[in-house]
Amino acid sequence: MIIPTLEIDKDGYPDEGIIEEIRVLPFEKARQFLREDFPRLAKELPCSSIRAEEIQDDDSFHGKELEIIFTTGGWSGCEDFINAVLGNFLLRVYYWQWNRGGRHVFRVPLEDK
């Protein structure tokens, strides 16, 4: 665990200090954050949905991956969170797809090779 909690303020917005921590996560923690912290922290946000499941993509170099589907619901607090994740180039490497309506898909290798 890299970030223990999201710390939501009285209006339901994520703490700016934690948002900044996500923006500057170092390379060696990127995969761990996405596999462990991102799904857990996203559950703390109001108006969002998160699903994370193992997939096997036969076309993937990585083999088994964790597919994370995060939907913001258009709420600005969730947008702050996903913008911090996407603002970190090392996390953005695993960004797979965006769909209208705030649906963001990440695919992270389950094994560090």
Q: Does any domain span residue 21?
A: yes
Which range among 10-14, 27-31, 67-71 shows the weakest confidence by mean pLDDT? 10-14
Q: Does any domain span residue 101?
A: yes
Mean pLDDT taken over the chain: 90
Percent over 90 (pLDDT), the chain:
68
Q: Does any domain span residue 5?
A: no
Q: Does any domain span residue 90?
A: yes
Calpha distance 38→104 (Å, rounded):
12
Instruction: Return the closest-CA partner of residue 35 out of 54, 56, 19, 11.
Output: 54
Please compute the mean of the pLDDT values over residues 75-86 and round it to a whole number: 94
Percent over 70 (pLDDT), the chain:
95
Task: For residue 60, give its domain range.
Answer: 16-109
Instruction: From residue 17, give the alpha-carbon distance in Å to each of 11, 14, 55, 73, 75.
Output: 16, 9, 33, 23, 19
Calpha distance 37→106 (Å, rounded):
13
Position 43 scores a pLDDT of 93
Residues 75/25/40/85 CA torsion (nearest 10 deg): 30
Please tell me the total count of domains within the chain. 1
Q: Does any domain span residue 97?
A: yes
Please compute the mean of the pLDDT values over residues 10-38 and round it to a whole number: 92
Please compute the mean of the pLDDT values over residues 91-103 and round it to a whole number: 92
Helix (H, G, I), strand (E, B) or coil at 52: strand
Q: Does any domain span residue 1?
A: no
